Structure 1
Amino acid sequence: MALDQLDGELEDQEESSEELYEQHSFKIDGGQEPLRIDKFLVARIEYATRNKVQKAIDAGRVLVNGKTTQSNYKIKPADEIIVYSHYEKRGERIEPQPLPLQIEYEDADLLIINKPAGLVVHPGSGNPDGTLVNGVAWYLQQQNPEISEETLPRFGLVHRIDKNTSGLMVMAKTDQAVTSLAKQFFNHTVYRRYIALVWGDPAEDEGTIIAHIGRHKRFRKLYDAYPEGEYGKDAITHYTVLERFGYVALIECRLETGRTHQIRVHMQHIGHPLFNDDFYGGDRIVKGTVYTKYKQFIENCFAICPRHALHAKSLGFLHPTSGQQMRFDSELPADMDQLIEKWRRYVKAKGDLIVESK
């Protein structure tokens, strides 16, 4: 695995995740002769170079026995080495482009951006430019022309959300902030709260879904849940029902892990796919009858929110420099807000009760 790049598209990885960093771990055996750590890592990590390893060490992304180190440190038996590296397509360059950004907060270390639905986070297959990262690259270079992919890997990208998911993202503005945030995402200490409209009426007011997530074994563009843990990566989603509309329900999801399509796959797994999720069966009538008026109502709902109804509402983490607890919240976007109000009116008109969760 490359230290700061992965051969091939991120979307084509067997086990991808929303976090864009991974961890390499090494336990030095008893027969190891003293050897500089940078030389050791170049020999052990595919596509790594001495320069990239040294930059990772300088940025604090290499730990020896839980502490940062220096390039000239000589490893010894029983040392435990952890390397944080980020996925990146080899040879792919990000072209800075002036694009509108909805910046909710900014300081010397980071940006909080409210991403609209429909905007791709980073360049990839079919989306070579016009992405969030292209816009952030332009924005940061207006502040400091010296910023580049060499000085700030991926222009500070440490996590992502799906193209058609709206909501909050954090971007780092310094390599040190990248390191801090990447570690927090990898260690699952970042607070993430999503709001979703799902099909059906969950039996319980709250619950936890524990099932590994990995590529679907037949349809490679999809992901699937593997509750026995025989495939994929561990994934945990907590959910709470906020409002019930009979045929659909408004829920809050809190993530312990950040696997690709995690909420979408987990909710489909328990029989409650996201409303209008065309990947996981939510873009058809899942609950209710198909008589003409109801069918027309659902089609009107799809037109109001022409994407899966999921919004990254809240985001929290420790500030990379001060260590202060940071917490950000966002309003629901207009399409989801209008969709929910339409369901409220529909239920009221039908004479049913909206049951708020306890």
Structure 2
Amino acid sequence: MSLNEQDLEFEQDDSAEVLYERMSWVVDKGQEPMRIDKWLVGRIENASRNKVQIAIDNARVLVNGKQVSANHKIKPGEEIIVYSDKEVHGEEIVPEPMPLNIVFEDDDILIIHKRVGLVVHPASGNPNGTLINGVAHYLLQQNKDLTAETLPRFGLVHRIDKNTSGLMVLAKTPKAASSLAKQFFDHSIHRQYVALVWGDVAEDEGTIEAHVGRHQRFRKIFDAYPDGEIGKEAITHYKVLERFGYVTLIQCELETGRTHQIRVHMKSIGHPLFNDELYGGDRIVKGTVFTKYKQFVENCFALCPRHALHAKTLGFIHPTTGKKVEFNSEIPEDMSSVIEKWRKYVKFKSINND
């Protein structure tokens, strides 16, 4: 499958966890009963009956959040969602050798700890050198009987930003992709992040509820819309792990997965992520004007030259076994070094003030 324009837009924006919803409709009140495959063919450009039926069989078409058969008769008021097919044909991806930190693998899924700076999927401006190129090479090496042309389909059901580190799950079969996509849609995936944010967060824990959508003026970034009239619903739960006065180490749990959700939500409450250049965290937001403090912060920026966000925990129901699985990862050295640097700074400051 080739990437369409919507996919390219997401890729160029280094989108975070995005449910790859392709199209959605609510059936009109006056709609007569009709087979869903026939109804969709009339609404999706260049769609054939066969392609629509394949999508339905692979659970990429949901009615009111549930899988249906091709002969399902649509009814007024039903919500119909068609997912983009994120499975990638081997011949469309150039396999490239690269180091991959594989946390877990079986016949259905791959859990990978993505390193900072690695783009997830090829797109305009990034045709190769991506995680998917590396995964294609890895799968070929695992099975010498395969070629790039016969490589089984595998696919993404979510993404994390280029400069966010941490855990991702990739589906190795259509069944696994469908199961995981539905869990993301149902918000039942367990995802915890660790972030270092500017300022002393007032509450020990809290919830941010504000729609996330494109900024009205600067289309390359996103913004929070508390009134809910723009963008999509987004909910982030946060908990303070450690306070350093000028910055705070927090844990974030996503209930939804919108583009740049944590980064946008934390900025919206006055606590942008440390060294987040897109959302104002790459300058001194909290602290003194003294030269020594400024130098300290610049040294921290140099240690962690990206926004301080790590996807630490990922849990879901396994597509085949039906059992809950959960994976954890260590905070990478760049972030952990900066956290320790702030810890020592606060301790030293406290001793000198006593």
Task: Render the CA deviation track for 1:213-253: whole Å, top value 9, x for unaligned.
Answer: 11111111111111111211111111111100010010000
* Inter-partner Cα distance in structure 2 for 1:200 and 1:351: 17
* Inter-partner Cα distance in structure 2 for 1:46 and 1:352: 68
Report if aligned partners of 1:84, 1:183 keep a CA contact under 8 Å in 2. Answer: no
Task: Render the CA deviation track for 1:295-332: whole Å, top value 9, x for unaligned.
Answer: 11001100110100000000010000111011111111
Closer, same or farther: CA 117–149 of 1 in aligned 2, 3 Å = farther
Q: Secondary structure at the match of 1:337?
A: helix
Tell me the residue number matched to 2:118: 119
- Offset, 1:28: 6.9
Q: Which moved more, 1:341-350 or 1:131-140?
A: 131-140
Confirm whether residue 250 of structure 1 aligns to residue 241 of structure 2.
no
TM-score, structure 1 normalization = 0.87
- Offset, 1:61: 2.3
Letter of the 1:344 partner, please give it: R
Report if aligned partners of 2:101, 2:113 keep a CA contact under 8 Å in 1. Answer: yes
Question: Which ranges in structure 2 are unaligned for 5 or more consecutive residues?
Answer: none
Confirm whether residue 86 of structure 1 aligns to residue 84 of structure 2.
yes
Question: Which ranges in structure 1 are unaligned for 5 or more consecutive residues?
Answer: 354-358
Q: Secondary structure at the match of 1:24?
A: strand
Report if aligned partners of 2:180, 2:319 keep a CA contact under 8 Å in 1. Answer: yes
Confirm whether residue 157 of structure 1 aligns to residue 162 of structure 2.
no
- Offset, 1:58: 2.1
Q: Which moved more, 1:98-107 or 1:191-200?
A: 98-107
* Inter-partner Cα distance in structure 2 for 1:297 and 1:85: 47
TM-score, structure 2 normalization = 0.88
Report if aligned partners of 2:63, 2:79 keep a CA contact under 8 Å in 1. Answer: yes
- Offset, 1:48: 2.7
Report if aligned partners of 1:200, 1:248 keep a CA contact under 8 Å in 2. Answer: yes
* Inter-partner Cα distance in structure 1 for 2:2 and 2:47: 8
* Inter-partner Cα distance in structure 2 for 1:126 and 1:243: 39
Task: Render the CA deviation track for 1:140-194: whole Å, top value 9, x for unaligned.
Answer: 3444537869963xx3111000000000000001000000000111111100000
- Offset, 1:336: 0.7
Report if aligned partners of 1:65, 1:79 keep a CA contact under 8 Å in 2. Answer: no
* Inter-partner Cα distance in structure 2 for 1:105 and 1:343: 33
Closer, same or farther: CA 170–74 of 1 in aligned 2, 3 Å = closer
Letter of the 2:61 partner, please give it: V
Tell me the residue number matched to 1:48: 47
Letter of the 2:164 partner, please give it: T
Report if aligned partners of 1:20, 1:86 keep a CA contact under 8 Å in 2. Answer: no
* Inter-partner Cα distance in structure 2 for 1:175 and 1:146: 19
Report if aligned partners of 1:4, 1:87 keep a CA contact under 8 Å in 2. Answer: no
- Counting only pairs closer than 5 Å after superposition, residues 68-147 of structure 1 correspond to structure 2 as 68-71=67-70, 73=71, 75=73, 77=75, 80=78, 82-86=80-84, 93-143=92-142, 145=146
Closer, same or farther: CA 291–30 of 1 in aligned 2, 3 Å = closer
- Offset, 1:129: 1.1
* Inter-partner Cα distance in structure 2 for 1:120 and 1:12: 9
Closer, same or farther: CA 272–54 of 1 in aligned 2, 3 Å = same
Closer, same or farther: CA 199–352 of 1 in aligned 2, 3 Å = farther
- Offset, 1:289: 1.4
Report if aligned partners of 1:200, 1:246 keep a CA contact under 8 Å in 2. Answer: yes
Q: Give the % identical residues.
A: 64
* Inter-partner Cα distance in structure 1 for 2:80 and 2:148: 27
Q: How many residues are aligned here?
A: 346
Report if aligned partners of 1:165, 1:309 keep a CA contact under 8 Å in 2. Answer: yes
Q: Secondary structure at the match of 1:44?
A: coil
Tell me the residue number matched to 1:356: none
Confirm whether residue 24 of structure 1 aligns to residue 24 of structure 2.
yes
Q: Secondary structure at the match of 2:275?
A: coil
- Counting only pairs closer than 5 Å after superposition, residues 310-325 of structure 1 correspond to structure 2 as 310-325=309-324
Letter of the 2:128 partner, please give it: D
- Counting only pairs closer than 5 Å after superposition, residues 1-358 of structure 1 correspond to structure 2 as 6-8=4-6, 9-11=8-10, 18-22=17-21, 24-27=24-27, 32=32, 34-35=34-35, 37-63=36-62, 68-71=67-70, 73=71, 75=73, 77=75, 80=78, 82-86=80-84, 93-143=92-142, 145=146, 152=153, 155-351=154-350
* Inter-partner Cα distance in structure 1 for 2:235 and 2:147: 40
